Structure 1
Amino acid sequence: MSDVTERGKCPRCGKPAPLVDRACPHCKGSLLVDVVVDTAPADPRKRYQLAKSLSGLPAPAPSFTAAHQALAIPHSVLLEGTTRAAARPLLEMVQEHGGRGSTTPHVAEAVAVEPERTGGSRFSSLLVLLGLIALATWAWRWQLRHAPTEISLPEARTVAVAPALDANVLAAGAAPATVILRCARSQGAGFFVAPDLVLTQTRLLCPPGEPLRATLADGRTTTVQTAQRDERLGLALVRFPGARATPLPPGDAMSLRTGDRVVLIGRPERAAQTALQAVVRNTARSDFGLAYLARSPAPPTADADRPGR
């Protein structure tokens, strides 16, 4: 029966060795490698999808968080101390998403082992060691008594602080694109994402047979129809014929970082329009494969973590 095990040259002795082996069967040298991301996709969304794909590979695959962090910094190590066979699918995945990776020999931390000594040599070495410790202690105390006292202050660091946001100003700017949606027993808000399309939550849609009324910021009111809905995400698009509204300009949530300030605008239940300032706590979370932001403090309603809020 022929041996079909895939092999590659050992970097130490040059002889062929199985890619799945951790050590060379000939010279006993290590065959482990580190997987390095030389270049990653420039688009944050593509890096996010690549990190999810890498974490979904069979073990030993990196976690999503580790992969996402490695892809954000050029020449970062994606996975340490793995076999050449396990490194191959990681490199192929990086290349499929428009990046480039490579492997470098894994260098384990070496631990120096002192040869065992016997008899008089061990006793003499102990005496020499004690003598050196005593001499060093005396010299340190002498310097402490005679040297001037100096206090080393840490270097000043500039801490980046996100600029303050005026929630009222931002809410006023978003008001023309805000729509009030009403059913017989519920009320909420939506936002124009196109001149005649409003994005809202599915929980705000009326039951079958009940009309959904929409009121613009200028006071116009009409009955609107649901254009599309996704129960899994809890989002819906409502068509407002002839609205000709100015939609909210789309932003890039992937550009946010932990600590950035944001403003949440809405109209929960029958309350007046609210604008709540919050701080982004986590950007590396996902729901059904889509990124969402964790923030603090949390909005005042239980449904506020849904993407349409």
Structure 2
Amino acid sequence: MVRSPKSVSESDACARSEISENAIRDGLRRLLASADFDVPERVRRFLSYVVEETIAGRASGIKAYTIAIEVFGRGTDFDIMNDPVVRIEAGRLRRGLERYYLLDGRTAPLLIDLAKGRYVPSFRWRVSDQSDPEPISTSILQPSVQAPRMIDRLKSHWLVSSAGALVIGLFVAVIALVASLPPAVPMGQARPSLLVKPFVNLTGRAEVQMFAAELDDEIVTQLAPNEEIMISRSEPSAAFAVSTASARSQSRRRLLEGTIRASEGKLRVTSRLIDSETAAIIWSGIYEADLRVSRGFDMETELAARIVSDVRLRLRPAMVRQ
């Protein structure tokens, strides 16, 4: 039996206390076999890995570092601060799960979830498949006459303990953060910096907007495993944000932006590399894809690879001068 820390705890009155490994694997097989779970193969491997590790009792070892190495083939020198592949693919997995349970999986008895900010999956039975919870005894809710004084004493002890634990926790977190930061780079050897902005959808169509978001994710994913370029995104993120002032003090920053148009079943993607200080256009490229012959994430992956290849060529002279 597998116990999920969220969905099968005592506090969850709507969840069953135990879920068998066979039930979880059956739910996973049904999900992976569905055409409505439309995600790349690497995201499928991601889901299978975290589910099997949880079943095996190794949920505590499911971290961004281990996922990057075991699922995405990153090296042991993987740096979570400069390579957001796990965070990006986790977001793609969550969107895929949401879509599946709204469509083909709307009657699935078992739900698999990956909460935001976590990589350990939770499992729960669908609410309609459960009986009503036992009513809570009213005697439990009746406090004794001396209860207020006892509660006051407990609150006092709790506040003192919590304050001490908070100080220790902050101290440990600061030490861990400092230890994880890359070594300082001398001013004369600063890496070139690239800010990837969301591609603008000029069609007004919702499906093209989704394509633009996925293309942006794919470009960042393919660019990030590169020690020679500092990559950041225009959206702020606690795990992957770079200060504009800091970036300008270290190196000359470049911006990558683009637009997306559609006509007669084809997409035209225009991409530009811009010097943020002078607003000069360093490079511009036009890419086309036929929606009638391309399907799913293959088109996004292929377009992103072409854009990334061209961008790296244009940034290379800057890296040589450094």
TM-score, normalised via structure 2 length: 0.26
What TM-score, normalized by structure 1, do the two folds share?
Answer: 0.27
Structure number with higher strand proportion:
1
Greater RCO, CA 8 A, separation 6+: 2
Higher helix share: 2
